[in-house]
Structure 1
Amino acid sequence: MKRRLENYSEHQEVMTRGRKHILLLATTRTGSSFVGEFFNQQGDNMFYSFEPLWHVEKMLTLDTGGTNATAAAKAYRDVLRQLFLCDFSLLESFIDPPPVDHITTALFRRESSSSLCEESVCSPFIKGVFERYHCRTRRCGPLNLTMASQSCLQKEHRAIKSVRVRQLETLRPLTEDPRLDVKFIQLVRDPRAVLASRMVAFAAKYKNWKQWAVGGDVPIEDDEVRKLKGNCDNIRMSAEIGLRRPSWLRGRYMLVRYEDIARFPMRKATEMYRFTGIPFTPQVKSWILKNTQAAKTSGVYSTQKNSSEQVEKWRFSLPFKIAQVVQKVCGPTMKLFGYKFVSSEEMLTDKSASLIEDKMFNFS
């Protein structure tokens, strides 16, 4: 018995020593759901969480009528830390309605995390209880967060995808926590493509833009233009820190362009796995092959893409006038990531000329 216990504690120690905590950082409409699947599909030894900070942002916005950046950054960091340690109690305090006995019907996009729909986390189905984001792979009852925590503890690695962290710098304490071995992957995309995608996904917000594109200038002080500039600046500042490789980020930061993943999915996935130090499993490879050759994209939040075709499709839907606005407010960001500027409508829609520079980003 004593020997068995020793073997078990040795096994636990090896698991902890080799355990990786992956944080995929992005902004909306950058293809992060698709890239997140590279980790979600890893298999039995990965616990993947999809946008857990959605609850935190929602609660903080409701409480204050807007998100206080400093308070949000601290809350995001603390929730991420606890989730990497498989402790859901802090996240529970942000879920609305509050879980009862650690059971919730309200976890955002539960079905997007295969770990939360596995048999070990699948409580009996309850007739008449509505769960908006219910599992699709099997019939489960409401999510028991205690069971989720236990399942998470059994997994060797943990990965979280989030579009809510504004500044990489705010996550520095995670790299200094001896219990964690955090790796950050920052996913970026041409801001013109992001805007074109947002104009489809959130059409009502951009009604005015469509009118400006037809007959007038886009006011630079417009709220959405300001947000666009703020987003671009945050992404650029985070990347600049990462690419400078300060001691706290050495070996912990990787920058990836969505366009490179879309054109060379297997190559980029291999690089990402090599960077994380986690085995690149056959399940992930077959998922990538199957899902990068879909005949057509299946909706605005799709994880199925005909990838290489998607890359510059935005050029034929974004009016030139709007592209100019993006270039004006996001110029430094575009330069850093290697996105070429267009100076005419013809250049924008010229299929023979790519707007993506060949660019290598060193990470180590």
Structure 2
Amino acid sequence: MNILRRWGIGIALGLINMVAYLQWKHQHPAGIWKSLYDMNSLSATSNWLSNSDTKRQKVVILMTQMRSGSSFTGRIFAGTNGSMYLYEPLVTFGRDCTTLVEYKMNFLTQLLNCNFSNIQKNYDVGFRASHVYRPRCADVGFCFNKPELLRGYAATCRRVLNDGPPNGEFNRKSTKCGYPLKEDILHQQCLDAKIVFAKITRVCTLDQLQEVFNYLESAGKDAYVIHLVRDPRSTTYSRLTAFKEKSPTNHKEICDRIRRNLAILDPNFQDKAPKLVSEGKYMRVRFEDLSMDAIGWAQKLFRFIGIDLPTEVEKKIRGTLQRDKDIIEELKQGEKSKQAQLQRDQSEYYGTTKDSKEVLRKWRRDIPLDMAMRVQRDCGDIMQSLGYIAFEDEVELRDVSKPFFW
């Protein structure tokens, strides 16, 4: 895609979006792709990578949809020593598949190449397009700064600025290393990372990631895409409970996104498949498989990106599973108030204490029958392609002893 086309980013999406785009255009007259080639982070990264091919920084993009188990999956990579975890870096751009697509891809490429300059200006473009404002993004300097990101930030800041607690924990009130997060420290943290991992739900199809992949590879990165899918019946019901999405057709958007990606991967059209697929840099995983065998699938995911499952990740997964099991059992035996807490945490959203196998069963007990049947009717093709089993009636649906995927 040539630079002239890049100059044309931002189709007229209404007056607000156009104003936002023109402001950005004024700030980047040469186009974002040229600015990416000129930025200091590229040369610094290239020098580091040139020492040995084994030192190529790995960039892993987890592409999925909301309520598909991405937080659970993200925690696997986030526990890797020497990694940087970018949780939903495109959150400000909204959930649709058409708004400012090229701009989003450019911004994502910028972040994955360790360029954190003008973050707030890019956020503002997204806010104006999505009409959703998150004040905390501006207050702390970076949206969704998860603990894993903050611990790495604190360690980097302490080393660079000699400030912060010796235990490596993030101190939000620190003058030098607290909030708001500083672009240059984020930049250095990213350069030092062996793996940069981004969980993305605001990218709809693999072909949208192709230019991102091409650029990262040309910049010396070792890039991968993991595509996480989940049974559309459980995703639809999870959105209903978490976001109160009561539209009778919201499942169609979920299935359409999966359907488009399956079409891209159709063996009959391999000549049109994105390069990242033909080069073996793409992997699809079902949330259900990951939930049933977290250790086994964690090994497969790390093997896919060319490294063995880190010891610290395996310990964390085993510890988390055991901790959750112990807490759940303790709460079950506790007083009613604690049992109510357990019920909230087991509700599939926002809770941190979950029995992953129970999550697989819960939606079958709670989803309205008409919703399940509607999803099966409209999404039967992708369910079959992904190995999900349709139910004939409510008896089959509620019988959690019978599998719903193969």
**TM superposition score normalised by structure 1:** 0.76
Could you tell me which amino acid in structure 1 is paired with residue 251 of structure 2? L
Specify the alignment match of 2:237 in structure 1. 196
Q: How many Å separate the matches in 2 of 1:304 and 1:163?
A: 23
**Deviations along 1:145-184, whole A, 9 cap, x unmatched?**
2211111111122110011111111111123221133211
Distance 1:200 1:38, change over 3 A: same
Could you tell me which amino acid in structure 2 is paired with residue 47 of structure 1? M
Q: How many Å separate the matches in 2 of 1:343 and 1:80?
A: 43
> Of residues 22, 35, 53 in structure 1, which corresponds to 2:90?
53
Specify the alignment match of 2:183 in structure 1. 145
Could you tell me which amino acid in structure 2 is paired with residue 52 of structure 1? P
Alignment of 1:1-364 (within 5 A): 13-14=51-52, 18-44=56-82, 46-57=83-94, 69-89=97-117, 91-96=119-124, 104-114=139-149, 117-121=153-157, 137-140=169-172, 141-142=178-179, 143-177=181-215, 178-179=218-219, 180-203=221-244, 205-206=245-246, 224-242=247-265, 244=267, 246=273, 248=275, 249-250=277-278, 251-293=280-322, 294-295=324-325, 296=328, 298=345, 300-302=349-351, 304-357=353-406
Could you tell me which amino acid in structure 2 is paired with residue 33 of structure 1? S
Equivalent residue of 1:153, what SS? helix
C-alpha contact 1:120 1:147 (8 A) present in aligned 2 = yes
Q: How many Å separate the matches in 1 of 2:229 and 2:284?
A: 8
Q: CA deviation at 1:283?
A: 1.1
Distance 1:10 1:107, change over 3 A: closer
Q: How many Å separate the matches in 2 of 1:170 and 1:337?
A: 22
How many residues align? The count is 309
**Deviations along 1:304-326, whole A, 9 cap, x unmatched?**
43222221221001011110111
C-alpha contact 1:23 1:159 (8 A) present in aligned 2 = yes
**Deviations along 1:201-221, whole A, 9 cap, x unmatched?**
123x33xxxxxxxxxxxxxxx
Could you tell me which amino acid in structure 2 is paired with residue 76 of structure 1? K
C-alpha contact 2:206 2:261 (8 A) present in aligned 1 = yes
Which moved further from structure 2: 35-44 or 192-201?
Answer: 192-201
Distance 1:152 1:10, change over 3 A: closer
C-alpha contact 2:210 2:274 (8 A) present in aligned 1 = no
Distance 1:234 1:322, change over 3 A: same
* Structure 2 unaligned blocks of 5 or more: 1-45, 128-132, 173-177, 329-341
Q: CA deviation at 1:243?
A: 6.2
Distance 1:22 1:239, change over 3 A: farther
**TM superposition score normalised by structure 2:** 0.69
Distance 1:148 1:307, change over 3 A: same
Q: CA deviation at 1:117?
A: 4.5
Q: How many Å separate the matches in 2 of 1:243 and 1:284?
A: 34
Q: How many Å separate the matches in 2 of 1:42 and 1:340?
A: 35
Could you tell me which amino acid in structure 1 is paired with residue 183 of structure 2? L
Q: How many Å separate the matches in 2 of 1:105 and 1:254?
A: 34
Q: How many Å separate the matches in 2 of 1:247 and 1:194?
A: 26
* Structure 1 unaligned blocks of 5 or more: 1-7, 59-66, 126-135, 207-223, 358-364
C-alpha contact 1:262 1:308 (8 A) present in aligned 2 = yes
C-alpha contact 1:186 1:256 (8 A) present in aligned 2 = yes
Distance 1:91 1:243, change over 3 A: farther
Distance 1:189 1:239, change over 3 A: same
C-alpha contact 1:175 1:181 (8 A) present in aligned 2 = no
